[in-house]
Amino acid sequence: MEFNVVDLGRMPYLPCVELQKSLLEQVIEGSQPSTLLFVEHDPVLTLGASFHEQNLLLPIAEYERRGIEVIRTDRGGDVTFHGPGQLVMYPIFNLSETERDLHKWLRSLEETMIVALRSLGIEGRRFAPHTGAWVRDRKIAAIGIKIRKWVSMHGISLNCDNDLGSFDLIVPCGIKGYGVTSLTRELGRTFTISEAKPVALEAFRTVFVE
């Protein structure tokens, strides 16, 4: 599969969702190729299609007081946090070019993160039945998607150098008893989004092009 890459820099969540929706329709129509978006979001909690209210540990007004938006979204999954220092990847991909298999798509997205981690000397893994990429018993990359006419939107958030304390304000992805980690934590040095982008892109090319 060939795909374009667009780096959006830092962008609020809702305008980015609208951009994804527009691009998705263009990919469905065939007027645009599959496209991988890179973005860094302002602090936001997104509530997926499987959201349960008990996974918000504070009142919504308190999150907003702390400068964190709370937004319902149509991706799969429960609640997760996006914010500065986290690389978010939205593959607006035409799955008809690969295989119309939702389960395989999720596993392939996990594989991109495992490949990226391996290139940095980190052993990533799957942790069934929980979707995402993990380092030991801590999640480092969360995955939530939506498919329309076999074109994908939403995607992966990879913790690079973000404040992991924000995840203490929720039950991340509705999974109790397990923590989160970041590239900075695992590598023992600051690892920025700028450093992560080429690593992630190479992993996408390894999984979907080569």
Pull the structure tokens for residue 155. 């995607």
- Distance, C-alpha 18 to centroid of its chain: 17
Q: H-type helices in the chain, by residue range?
A: 13-29, 60-65, 102-119, 183-187, 193-208
Pull the structure tokens for residue 207. 């999984």
- Spell 88-109 as b/e; 16+ CB within 10 A means b: bbbbbbbbeebeeeeeebbebb
Number of H helices, E strands in the chain: 5, 11
Pull the structure tokens for residue 138. 């801590």
Active site residue 173: yes
CB distance 175 to 130 below 8 Å: yes
Name the catalytic one among 56, 173, 200, 207: 173
Pull the structure tokens for residue 101. 């298999």
- CA end-to-end distance (rounded Å), the chain: 9
Pull the structure tokens for residue 156. 């992966």
The residues annotated with a catalytic role in the active site are: 173
